[in-house]
Structure 1
Amino acid sequence: MMTFQPRIAISGGGPGGLALSLLLKQRGISPTIYELRSKPTPEELTKLSGMLDLHDESGGKTLRECNLWDDFQAAVGDCSEEQRVLNPQGTVLHTDEGEFSSRPEIPREALTKLLLKNVPSDFIKWNHKVMAARHTHNATTGATEIELDLGPNGTASYDFVVGADGAWSRVSKLLTDVKPFYSGAQWVTVTVRNASTKYPHLVELVGSGGFSALGLGNGILSQRGPQDSIRVYAAVSTPHEYWAKETGLEAMTAAEAKTILLDDKLFGKWAPSLQDLLATACDEETKDNPGKTIDILPMYMLPVGHRWEHRTAVTLVGDAAHLMTPWAGEGVNLALWDSLDLAHAIGGVPEVEDAAAWQVALEPRVREYEEAMMARAKGKAAESARNKDMFLSENGGEKMAEFFKSAFANAFAALERADEVESGGINRGTVSGE
C-alpha cells in the first residue's frame, strides 16, 4: 500500500515560504507555493535591497538545516557588524566593531536567490495570488480541506495550507479577524551607489556597517550594501497614517521630496553632515531611477501577544502570524524559525493511509508549534515595540547608545564568567565552599 502524500499549499514565496518548502522537500513532501509576483529575473535578484541580519538561534539555525550555511557565508560581507550611533547634532555617542555580534548581514534579494536556487522550480506557481481561502469538508474521505480562490487561475483544494503571505494575509482570515494597525511611524528609503568613489566623506561618516542618528522623534539610519552602496532610511514619527499623501510626498521623486524632508519640522535642524547624507541619497536615488516616486512605507504591526484559536488544516508563519515593526531585527528571523519548527511538526507525522488520519496525527503537532511560536513572537514583538518608542523619542540617540553599552557590558561579563569556568576558578570555589 502506498504511503499517503498530503497536499500542502504555501501562500507566499518570501524567505519563510521558500525555506518551509525546502525543509519539507527534505522530508519527502512536495508542497505548492503560490506567489503573486512574476518569477524574478537574474538581473532583478541582483538589484539593491535592504540588508537582513540573521540570528544564530533562528535564521542561522534554519539555513544550517537547509544545508545552505556555506552558501550563505559566501553571500555576506557587504555590510559589517559595526555600529555607530549619533544624535541630531552629529555627536558620536557610541561606536563598536561588532565584537560581540554574531549576526551576519545579507541582502534580501541575495537570500531570496539562495533559497530559490534550491527549491525545485515546479514547486512554485508564479503570478498566482490567493484571493481568499475557506474550509470545506470532503464527504468521501471525511477530511477537512482548504479551498483556495486563485482568481483567474481558478480554485484548488489542499489537506493543509500555510499562510506565509505577509502583513495582509488572506489565509489568516481563516483564523482571526484581527488586522494590522498603523504603528505611528513612516519609513523612507533612498540609496547611494558607488559611494566610496563618489562620496568618500559619506563613507567616512557612516562607516562599514550600521549607522543610526536618532532624536527629536525621528531618525536617519543607514546600512552598507552591494555595489558599494549606502542604503539610507529616514524614520519619521507621525500620527498620520496617510502622511505621504497628505504632504504630497507620494507623488514626488526622491529629489523633489528632499525639500519637505529637510524642512525644519523634520530634519532641517539636524547637523549639516546628516542633512547632506539624506539629501545626497535622495538625489542619487532619482538619478538611478528617473521619474520614480519616493519609497515611503507606513509601518504596521499586529497587537503584541496576538494569537488565535487553532483550526484544522491551516496555520501561519512570519508576518502573517506576528507582524511587528523592524526595531528588533526579528522579522525574517522569526519567519525562518517558524518554518523550521513547522517543518519538524509536519515531518514528524507517522505514515498513515489517508488524509483524515494524517490530519488527526498532525493536529497536536501544529497546536504545539503554534503555542511555541506565539510565545516567542510575543516577547520579540514587545521588544520591537519598546525599541520603537525608545529610539524614536526626543533623546533616541542617547537611549540607543545606552542600549548598546548595556549589551556590551553584559557580553563582557559573560565572557569573564566563561573565562573563569574554563580556568577552573568557579568550579574550585564551588567545591571548596569559597
Structure 2
Amino acid sequence: MSTFQPRIAIVGGGPSGLALGQLLHQRGINTTIYELRPKPTQEELAKPSGMLDLHEESGLTAMRECGLWDKFQAAVGDCSESMCVLNPGGAVLHTDEGGLESRPEIARNALTNLLLENVPPGMIKWNHKITAVQSERNPTTGATEITLAFGVHGAAAYDFVVGADGAWSQIRKLLSDAQPIYSGAQYVTATIRHVSTRYPHLAALSGTGTMSALGHGNALMTHRGPHDSIRLYAALSTPDEHWAATAGLQDKTAADVKATLLGSALLFANWAPALRDLLATACDDETRANPGAAPDIKPYYMLPVGHRWDHRTGATLIGDAAHLMTPWAGEGVNLALWDALDLARVLLGGPVGTDTDAALWQGALDPRLREFEKDMLSRAQQKASETDENRKMFLSEDGAERMAGFFKAFYDMASAEGVVQAH
C-alpha cells in the first residue's frame, strides 16, 4: 500500500503562491499552481517594475527558507533604503537612511524571477482561468473535495485548495461574501529609464532610494529601480472610483494624462517646478518607451479591515485574497510571504502514512488550519489598520508635515532609548 499524498492546488502564481509551492516541493509535497496569466518572458521580467521592501520577520525569512538568500542579495541594490519627504513646494522636511532595521528593496519582477527559477517545470499551469469552484463531500470516502473548473482546460478535484489569487479571488467565494471596496485613491504610474545620464537633476531630486512629496490630498512618490530608473507614482484622492473614465483618459497615453495632472489646481498644477518637471518627464518617457500603450491608472481597493471567515474544510486563503490592503505601509507582499511560510509549516505537519486517507488527513489538518487562519487574520487586521492610518496621513492636506512629524517622533524615541541617532 502506498503512502497517502494529498492532492493540493494553489490558485495564483504571485509571490505567495510561488513561495508556498516551492516550500512544499522542497519537502516532498507535490502541488499544482494555477495562474490566470501567461508565463512571463525573460524580457518582460527584465523590465523596470515596482520596488518591494522585504521585512525580517516575513519576506526576508521567506527568502532564507526558500533557499534563495544568496540570489536575493545579488538581486537587490537598485534602490537604497534612504528616504526623503518633501512638501508640494519642494522643501525637504525629513531624510533618513533606512530606519532601525534593514529592509532591502527588490524589484517585483526580480522577486518573481527568483521564485520562478526554483519552481519545478510543470508545477505551474499557465493561462488557467477559474470559471467555477465547487465544494462537496465525497459520499464514498467522506472527504471534502474541491473541484476547480477551467473552461476549455476542463476540471480537477483536490483535497485542499489555497486561494492565493489576489484581490478578486475566485477561491474566496467558497469562504466569504466579502468584496474589495474602493479606498478613495488612484495611482498613475510611469517610469523614467537611464535617469542618471539623461536627467541627472531628476536623479538628484529622487535620491538613491525613495522620495515622497505629499500635500493637498495628493502625492508624488518615487523609487529608484533597475536600468537606473525612477518609478513614479502619482497618487490622487478622489471619491470617483472610475476617475480615469470620467476624465476621458482610458484610451489616451501617459503623455496625455500629463496635461490633466498638471492642468488642475486640485491635482499638481501649483506644485514646485521641480516636482512638475519630474511628473511631466515620467509621463513623456513612459509614452516613448511604450508608444500607443494605455496609461497605467489604477484605483486602489481593500478588503474591510478585520475581514474574517468561518473555517471550512478543504480550502483557505493567503495574501491579498485573504486581507487585501492598500500599499501605504509596504506590508502586502510581506504578509503574503509570511502567510506562505506559516501555511507550509501547517501542511508539512499533517499526517502521512499507509493508514492515512483524505478524510483522516483533512480531519487532522482542520484544527491546525483554524489556528493558522486565526493568527494570520489577527496580524493582518493590525497591519491593515496601520496601513489605512498611513493612507489618511499620506493623502491629507498637510501630508508632508504629518509624515515628517511621525518620523521625528519615531527617531527621537529611538535615540532616547539609545537605539539609534536621529538623522
Structure 2: runs of 5 or more not aligned: none
1:239-318 pair list within 5 angstroms:
239-263=239-263, 264-318=265-319
Deviations 1:54-108 (A, max 9, x none): 0001111111111111111110000000000000011100011225341100000
Equivalent residues of 1:81, 1:101 under 8 A apart: no
1:186-197 pair list within 5 angstroms:
186-197=186-197
Q: How far off its partner does 1:364 sit?
A: 0.7
1:343-422 pair list within 5 angstroms:
343-352=344-353, 353-416=356-419
Q: How far off its partner does 1:411 sit?
A: 3.1
**Structure 2 CA distance, aligned partners of 1:416 and 1:176?**
43
CA change 1:260–1:120 in 2 (3 A) is: same
1:69-148 pair list within 5 angstroms:
69-148=69-148
Q: Which moved more, 1:238-247 or 1:36-45?
A: 36-45
Identity percentage of aligned residues? 65
Equivalent residues of 1:167, 1:180 under 8 A apart: yes
Q: How far off its partner does 1:302 sit?
A: 0.4
**Structure 1 CA distance, aligned partners of 2:4 and 2:164?**
24
3-state DSSP of counterpart to 1:43: helix
Equivalent residues of 1:16, 1:318 under 8 A apart: yes
Equivalent residues of 2:10, 2:17 under 8 A apart: yes
3-state DSSP of counterpart to 1:262: helix
1:59-74 pair list within 5 angstroms:
59-74=59-74
**Structure 2 CA distance, aligned partners of 1:336 and 1:74?**
20
Q: How far off its partner does 1:38 sit?
A: 1.0
- Alignment partner of 1:170 is 2:173: no
Q: Which moved more, 1:398-407 or 1:173-182?
A: 398-407
**Structure 2 CA distance, aligned partners of 1:416 and 1:399?**
23
Q: How far off its partner does 1:142 sit?
A: 1.3
Equivalent residues of 1:132, 1:171 under 8 A apart: no
3-state DSSP of counterpart to 1:276: helix
**Structure 2 CA distance, aligned partners of 1:193 and 1:416?**
38
Q: How far off its partner does 1:355 sit?
A: 0.5
Q: Which amino acid aligns with 1:357?
A: L
Q: How far off its partner does 1:131 sit?
A: 1.9
Q: Which moved more, 1:279-288 or 1:138-147?
A: 138-147
Equivalent residues of 1:147, 1:156 under 8 A apart: yes
Q: How far off its partner does 1:152 sit?
A: 1.1
3-state DSSP of counterpart to 2:328: helix
Comparing both structures, which one devotes a greater share of its residues to helix? 1
Q: How far off its partner does 1:414 sit?
A: 4.3
3-state DSSP of counterpart to 1:59: helix
Equivalent residues of 2:210, 2:224 under 8 A apart: yes
Deviations 1:279-312 (A, max 9, x none): 0000000010001111000000001000000000
**Structure 1 CA distance, aligned partners of 2:416 and 2:71?**
33
Q: How far off its partner does 1:2 sit?
A: 2.0
3-state DSSP of counterpart to 1:224: strand
Q: Which moved more, 1:37-46 or 1:268-277?
A: 37-46
Number of the residue aligned with 1:19: 19
CA change 1:86–1:61 in 2 (3 A) is: same
**Structure 2 CA distance, aligned partners of 1:116 and 1:66?**
12
Q: How far off its partner does 1:140 sit?
A: 2.0
Equivalent residues of 2:47, 2:109 under 8 A apart: yes
CA RMSD, Structure 1 to Structure 2 (Å) = 1.1
Number of the residue aligned with 1:233: 233
Q: Which amino acid aligns with 2:103?
A: R
Deviations 1:341-387 (A, max 9, x none): 00000101122421011001111111010000000000000000000
Structure 1: runs of 5 or more not aligned: 418-434
Number of the residue aligned with 1:10: 10
Equivalent residues of 2:5, 2:352 under 8 A apart: no
**Structure 2 CA distance, aligned partners of 1:399 and 1:246?**
31
**Structure 1 CA distance, aligned partners of 2:405 and 2:197?**
34
Q: Which amino acid aligns with 2:22?
A: L
Q: Which moved more, 1:326-335 or 1:58-67?
A: 58-67
Q: How far off its partner does 1:415 sit?
A: 3.8
1:332-347 pair list within 5 angstroms:
332-347=333-348
Q: Which moved more, 1:90-99 or 1:269-278?
A: 90-99
**Structure 2 CA distance, aligned partners of 1:129 and 1:346?**
25
Q: Which amino acid aligns with 1:209?
A: G
**Structure 1 CA distance, aligned partners of 2:149 and 2:283?**
41
**Structure 2 CA distance, aligned partners of 1:56 and 1:244?**
37
Q: Which moved more, 1:258-267 or 1:335-344?
A: 258-267
> TM-score of the superposition, structure 2-length normalised?
0.97
Equivalent residues of 1:7, 1:159 under 8 A apart: yes
**Structure 2 CA distance, aligned partners of 1:234 and 1:416?**
34
**Structure 1 CA distance, aligned partners of 2:212 and 2:131?**
39
**Structure 2 CA distance, aligned partners of 1:364 and 1:307?**
16
CA change 1:152–1:117 in 2 (3 A) is: same
